[in-house]
Amino acid sequence: MGQVPKSRLTADEAINILKEGNNRFTSGQLEHPNHCEESRQNLATGQEPIATVLTCSDSRVPPVDIFDQGLGDLFVVRVAGNIIGDHTLGSIEYAVRHLHTPLVLVLGHSSCGAVTAVASGATLEGHIATLGPAIQTAIKNVQEMAGDTVDNVSIELAKQVARKISESEPVVADLVKEGAVKVVPAFYDLSSGEVRFLEK
């Protein structure tokens, strides 16, 4: 896999690289690729990330570490609750259209503070309130589900956001229809360090 130029990777190959990296992360066998002087110098004039990752701003969810990647490997977009708005969507469009990332990964996580706040009925002040509607929709969809409510909502939210991104016209939806891009939801468990890839 290491011999394949990044620009020629498929979404499935990118997923396999991320899965292998996460396995190294959870087993403590980290390789810390592309952290050297040579990598830094090579990236000074351009980038070819293997995937775009939309995830929460939570400090416990660093995608480069979770997937044991390095400089230039992941195009990361972060916002509380990993929800989308015009700016986050524009960033994703830039990555798939101009950097040609074949994969967009929407990464939710356990014990998400944004989800916990909305699920508990807390009053969201200022611009924090803009996070509420998407999370409330996810809450409604999992009301009858057994298990941890916050984690269930986070999983549903990742699926919901992945669907919206894949249907976003014209840029992402067109690339998805062409088979050039896959949008995949996933869930990161803070305790185990494991990332579970989900079906939309």
What is the mean predicted confidence (pLDDT) over 17-44? 93
CATH of the domain at 164: 3.40.1050.10
Per-residue pLDDT band for 2 (boundaries 50, 70, 90) equals very low
Number of domains forming the structure of the chain: 1
> 66 lies in which domain range?
6-197
Residue 162 placed within a domain: yes
What is the mean predicted confidence (pLDDT) over 95-119? 96
Residue 31 placed within a domain: yes
pLDDT in tens, 109-136: 999 999 999 999 999 999 999 999 999 9
Predicted confidence at residue 36, as pLDDT, reads 85
Residue 1 placed within a domain: no
Query: For every residue of the chain, which 3-state class applies, written as one string?
Result: CCCCCHHHCCHHHHHHHHHHHHHHHHHCCCCCCCCCHHHHHHHHHCCCCCEEEEECCCCCCCHHHHCCCCCCCEEEEECHHHCCCHHHHHHHHHHHHHCCCCEEEEEEECCCHHHHHHHCCCCCCHHHHHHHHHHHHHHHHCCCCCCCHHHHHHHHHHHHHHHHHHCCCCHHHHHHHHCCCEEEEEEECCCCCCEEECCC
Per-residue pLDDT band for 6 (boundaries 50, 70, 90) equals low
> 2-11, 19-28, 70-79, 119-128: which range is least confident on average?
2-11
